[in-house]
Structure 1
Amino acid sequence: MAEPKAGARNNRQAEDRIAALLQAWRAAGRPVVHVRHLSRSPGSPFWPGQRGAEFQDALAPLAGEHVVDKHVTDAFAHSGLEHWLHQRSIRQLVFVGVSTNMSVEATVRSAGCLGFDCRVAADACYTFDRPDLDGQPRSAEDLHRVALANLQGEYAQVCQSADLL
């Protein structure tokens, strides 16, 4: 998602916040799950082997950390993630990543509906400018805030990474 053709984005410090949370989780011995989008549509930036389908070096999984490959926006759909979490009695989840109004929102909604206790670190997520249904441009920051508002209370508690650290 670092490709310039993805468009203008918000929250330029998100990767630093994700890295800080990742470091804290690892230091505390907490389980970490990495999600990778692998598209089944040739030409997609998420097609296997493309840069968009790879983890950023600073956020790459370590040996022993669980990796979920997803093929749609929701990381729970046909991935085995729910089963993996239940096997380990993991009920509380913290979400970070990209993009807020797509994969993050879809996955958090599913997790909330499945009964998980969800937190979303707002400053550790980001999205991109995108037009609305009428073709009117909408800023990444507005889309980010609306997606988080959609999640707050009903599916998750939205917080800042400092609250989690």
Structure 2
Amino acid sequence: MDITEIDENAALVVIDVQKGFDDEGFWGRRDNPAAEENIAALIDRWQETGRPVVFVRHDSSREGSPLRTGSAGNAFKDVVEERRGKGTGPELLVTKSVNSAFYGEPDLDAWLREAARGGAADGRRGQIVIVGIQTNMCNETTARMAGNLGYDVVFPIDAMHTFDLAGPFGWERSAEELTRATAVSLHGGAFARVVSTQDVLKGAAAY
């Protein structure tokens, strides 16, 4: 399959595009300022072609988290909220409190195989396209699990972003370095096909 070929019933999974991620004081410096623009373009394409869209929201229970349930930061960013419910295809809201969107409510895997018609007759999973925040956290975790479950995972790396991060032993990595590491791990490890937003837009034209 060419990397630009997007299935008729491929689901777009939009992960954690929430206002709380705009809190630079909490998260630090981010990469890819074009992420929201690319996410919007993909949502628009999915909605105009009637493909299924999943909006995922992280409901944090951590004290002090900008994403905690009931806080202003828990809400979707306008770029997502103004598009919800505007498509002609199936749509789902998943809420979660961990990294993988497959451990949320309602059951994402079940919905993709049934309501989104994402499964083949022999039980194989279909195709999903993952976008959102953060590249190396919830996006990567969801992509790895989707790959393990048997989905054909497409990962437009410029339709997401992450933040600089400090780890053990005094190691620090920039958001750009973490993005590249995610891309290499997912693509090189055959969990997902890492592509660009333009690749996906070309492949998801009206059918």
SS of residue paired to 1:95 = strand
Q: State the number of aligned residues.
A: 165
Equivalent-residue separation in structure 2 for 1:54 and 1:101 (angstroms): 21
| 1:13 is the counterpart of 2:34 | yes
| 1:163 is the counterpart of 2:196 | no
Between 1 and 2, higher relative CO (CA 8 Å, sep ≥ 6) is seen in 2
TM-score (norm 2): 0.76
Q: Which amino acid aligns with 1:7?
A: G
Equivalent-residue separation in structure 2 for 1:78 and 1:31 (angstroms): 18
Shift of residue 77, structure 1, vs aligned partner: 1.5
Deviations 1:45-81 (A, max 9, x none): 2211223321111112523621100110111014310
| 1:33 is the counterpart of 2:54 | yes
Match for residue 114 of structure 2 among 71, 87, 90? 87
RMSD: 1.4
Shift of residue 146, structure 1, vs aligned partner: 0.3
Match of 2:147 in 1: 112
Which structure 2 residues correspond to residues 45-124 of structure 1 after superposition, within 5 A?
45-60=66-81, 62-63=84-85, 65-79=91-105, 80-88=107-115, 89-90=117-118, 91-124=126-159
Match of 1:152 in 2: 187
Q: Which amino acid aligns with 2:113?
A: H
Equivalent-residue separation in structure 2 for 1:118 and 1:7 (angstroms): 29
> 1:51/1:24 Cα in 2 relative to 1: closer, same or farther (>3 Å)?
same
SS of residue paired to 1:43 = coil
Equivalent-residue separation in structure 2 for 1:18 and 1:162 (angstroms): 11
Match of 2:161 in 1: 126
Equivalent-residue separation in structure 2 for 1:75 and 1:139 (angstroms): 25
The structure with more radius of gyration: 2
Match of 2:22 in 1: 2
Unaligned 5+ runs, structure 2: 1-20, 119-125, 202-207
Q: Is the deviation greater in 33-42 or in 116-125?
A: 33-42
SS of residue paired to 2:194 = strand
Shift of residue 145, structure 1, vs aligned partner: 0.8
| 1:23 is the counterpart of 2:23 | no
TM-score (norm 1): 0.94
Q: Which runs of 4+ in 1 moved over 3 A?
A: none
Task: Assess if the C-alpha contact under 8 Å between 2:157 and 2:197 holds in 1.
Answer: yes
